[in-house]
Amino acid sequence: MSNKMWGGRFGEGPDAIMEEINVSIDVDRHLHAQDIAASKVHAAMLAAQGIITADDAKNIGRGLDTILSEIRKGSFDFKRALEDIHMNVESRLAELIGAAAGRLHTARSRNDQVATDFRLYVRDVIDQTDAAFADFQRVLATRALEHAGTVMPGFTHLQTAQPVTFGHHLMAYVEMAARDRGRFADARKRLNESPLGAAALAGTSFPIDRGATAKGLGFDRPMANSLDAVSDRDFVLETLSAAAIASTHLSRFAEEIVIWTSPLVGLVRLSDKFTTGSSIMPQKRNPDAAELVRAKTGRVVGALTALLIVMKGLPLAYQKDMQEDKQGAMEAFGALSLAVRAMTGMVADLVPDEARMKVAAGEGYATATDLADWLVRTLKIPFRDAHHVTGRIVAAASKQGVALHELPLSAMQAVEPRITRDALAMLSVEASVKSRTSYGGTAPKNVSAQAKAWLRRLEKEQKLG
């Protein structure tokens, strides 16, 4: 039997394999709210333009509301034979209101319909993602303020480099999240144009008002070219790109948590809320939540790569390949949502071992640069020469097996006679972080000011809605 929705040209039904590869309802059923919202706006516009009667539009609207209620209650029967969300909704609408349901598809195509639905869906995802990352920033800034003066080792090459504060480290991720939110906001601006009314690819001869449907759906304007409107998936690619970068940031932080919670490092602890045990080793506490955040990044980056590959060879306009735009993207957005919420929970939960952090911050001669800076500032030695002098002093301390601040002054003076006891005061980890007062530096007063500024900004954003 041919498909009653589009089968006038066909004498028989599709092969079972054709039906299986063609069906998309298992995925695009998630667009039901957006599909119904767009259909209601479209029907209202058709009536306002005199293309359908006001009574038909009213009945269509009521029927669509009933369908939305059925879907939300779980009583709606999604039929794979009807392929997609559009045909499932239209078929049920016909059962509810009769022949008037057939007027809904006037002056539109499934091509502009799905493009509209998916734009609305991705726009909703962006708004939800922005809110989730704002919560992440809020927790980070709160903990940063709490630990503005908690000294920890800063690393380069995963080797101890210079002392920083734990608050400063957390604030780095506040800044990353701010850029992530900015990328999503930029994607939203470019996304916010309406394809509805582009029809299959060439527009329509009906006197529709695309401006009205765009406004009714919260878009800034209609898309200016009907070919572009139905064939563009930049909005998905751009949002996935922002998601891939954001998930990479989360993964980097998750990796740090995995390292920090290792007994070999022991800088932070996570509670039972975000760890799991072992089926055979009763002593184990595994940072599985952080490990899974790290792994989710592959799903997000993979979705971006997959869609780029789908789109790279498609001529204008719509191609069936583009049916593959949704599943990977939806899974990626879900993975990112879960990851950011898990990271938010872990940041709130983790407890730094402040004593261990302080000890680790001084290991590896981490304050050597402070000595070099003292030589430059006090003795007016050129930095390159000061670097060489400090390196020789570090070598002497290493040879004696003592920390830099434990090396006798006489041993330092054997390398540079003008060094005074004042230099020793610069070699504690507390003095080191306190001295880093340049804008963006790790000085506790800097961190405290930045954390407070971010918390005020986030509170203001929340109030503005």
Question: Which residues form the catalytic set?
Answer: 157, 278
Token reading at 390? 């400090």
User: What is the DSSP annotation of 158-214?
Assistant: TEEEEEEEHHHHHHHHHHHHHHHHHHHHHHHHHH-EE-TT-TTTT--SS---HHHHH
Distances (CA, A) of 370 to 104, 169, 268, 398, 451: 73, 20, 26, 17, 25
Distance CA 335, CA 119 (A): 19
- Measured CA to CA in angstroms, residue 321 lies from 174, 191, 303, 315 at distances of 38, 21, 15, 11
Cβ-contact 97, 63 below 8 angstroms? yes
Place of tokens 């090459």: 157
Burial bucket for residue 73 (CB in 10 Å: 0-12, 13-18, 19+): exposed
The DSSP line for 217-267 is TT-SEE-S-HHHHHH--HHHHHHHHHHHHHHHHHHHHHHHHHHHHSTTT-S
Rounded to the nearest 10 degrees, the angle between the axes of helix 54-73 and helix 32-48 is 170
Element (H or E) spanning 378, and its range? helix 368-379
Which helix or strand (DSSP H or E) is residue 4 part of? none
Please give the backbone phi and psi of residue 194, each rounded to the nearest 5 degrees, phi first.
-95, 125
Q: Do residues 337 and 129 make contact, with C-beta atoms less than 8 angstroms apart?
A: yes
The Cα–Cα gap between 131 and 405 comes to 47
Contact (CB, 8 A) for 410 and 339 = no
List of residues 6+ apart from 90 with CB closer than 8 A: 5, 101, 102, 104, 105
Burial annotation 418-435 (CB, 10 A radius, 16+ → b, else e): ebeeebbebbbbeebbbb
Among candidate residues 318, 293, 194, 186, the one with its CA nearest the CA of residue 239? 186
